[in-house]
Structure 1
């Protein structure tokens, strides 16, 4: 059986890997010249089961309203004459109830825990290297109200098997001494020892090479234009490569094109409620080893995540709902640098920050689409938002089980099941 995977980001490449392990013939198609050159290129680097609280929660609407006029707000909504944006926003508001938030948190924790275990097994099996650190993730808070509001989600996560422990300021600095300069500003923290960090681009590109050695074919520099279909089956994918049109055919297909999955799926009459949440990151050389963190950090108040990638520091976050533009907003870039320099001034050469932005494929609930579509031979693995790296291995392993006609080993509401 031949399966064509659309997309060579971290989700598409892991999907190809697990499908090949299951014995399928696999081809991956992507418009870039190699794997992980779009949203997986410079993300926050965290494998963060503890980052499962959905954006859509009872406190979100008031926060979004408060941030509307702030160019450097953690979540920035820029209204456009775009029906897709407004459809997404209305669905987001519908998810902001306590019941929906609790349901979605359960989904995210279950998938995240399973996915982290899959990644660890893959790492043990292959020896893949990607600047991995297994020192946990520490959420820190400089606003007492934000810290207080984190206690209930942390309790819910513990009940679901994610051991996110509440710690005081002294324990937070014991876990990560790099936070010592900010001691007087800290209100509290939570710590998840089992979580990890690593370079998603290094991982994806290394896994793509391993997959290719195992027999997966990659067709790069190939733009996907649309589909040939008949009734409830996809017959082929229409592509453009180096000026030549070609229809690629397979027995089954997997859509893993991130934020671009929605527009393409609409050609088939599939309405995936995915909208790009533009995120930013900075990558900075370490300045002082003793002042630079080793534990991955999350600054919940500013919606930033910090990862140590060898001799580099990566800080990523914020979300801008502003269409498909990838233009850097320097106000938002400078806000990240300013926050980092205030908290850990000697950790890095903050004035040498390399800026990047990418389009994270967000669903209103934060829960991705994984499973079979109503086309019998089209499968979905997309819409992972800010957690594509965290959920990639588990999503791919689960999808491989679904393609084989089985049920995955994780309690999750899979599409088409």
Structure 2
């Protein structure tokens, strides 16, 4: 059973994202002093004194031309309220009511969604006059809260409880099961078409898109189904070269995207086919592999790419050279605009996650190990033989193995690479990152991450 949903709404800079972060217990939403930081809807699982619900952070509500970026942000906020079980309308108690607050209240009064008014930044008595002004909105008694300091949570609990309280469920948590929701992150440089791809996959204008580069700032998580299989889809902010990142907010966005990679299972690196592969793309791909996540390369805008065949072969060759630690990374051609190739992304992602989650039995693993050692024995540096005794798999996601032997610190990198490539090929583990550790008496922990 899905969790009840609470949508936080209000004009820019009243503390919506700060309250969102407090309720989810993590700094998921970006927070900054300037208005308009949040642009897309952001969702998270919230807990308040035992109440469990889904919380949605929305963009600041502004009165702008519908075709403008603020206008498109406003449509996302309106959609979030209509889909929610209750709307939490935040005002700034220290500033008091503004004409925009009154306009938002007029809109909320004609919507069917129940509304709770909360006067934020009301710590101490500084915001009492602003809270009293909020009675004039005609939406019931305003609560006094401080999202930053955690004040007023009991009153907020009592106000939300009639709308979000439900009986306990015995459903098994599926979050980290290999057959649970596929955690799929879409990453890439700005304007590669990430949000357009997410909208195409979902079949709705869920993410704000447009010609402006860098519209998405937060990593936006969306629960969805593909052919009856659950997916947790994450759209992320564009990643530029570090030298070009001067804005504090963009630095926060980049850090947020890198955290998203860490929590994903499969990461789709979206490239703009009209620009080809650049050094920054290889750096992003390398970061995904180093985190042990499954990597899929998708060439977007393929419907308008010129010299398609040579472009595709050039990208493949550059990947083979630039990602020498992991051969055979899938390269797919897609068009987020037309939808061509988008189903293939999901199909490949599910297949690779299965390989990434695979556990090989100790018997099968050591039979393979004996064959691999017989086919290509370890070298004998200085004429002294290196003895590798046996191998075991210690974990999955990514598959991680330990080889036990003596003098393992003298194993050259080329032989490590041979073992990794043979593992991947002979046991059909596919183009997924593997972890291999050589453990001996003199140097017990010498990891090799590929």
Q: TM-score w.r.t. structure 2 length? A: 0.23
TM-score between the two structures when normalised by the length of structure 1 = 0.25
Task: Considering fraction of residues, name the structure with more strand.
Answer: 1
Greater Cα radius of gyration, structure 1 or 2: 2
Higher relative contact order (CA 8 A, sep 6+): 1
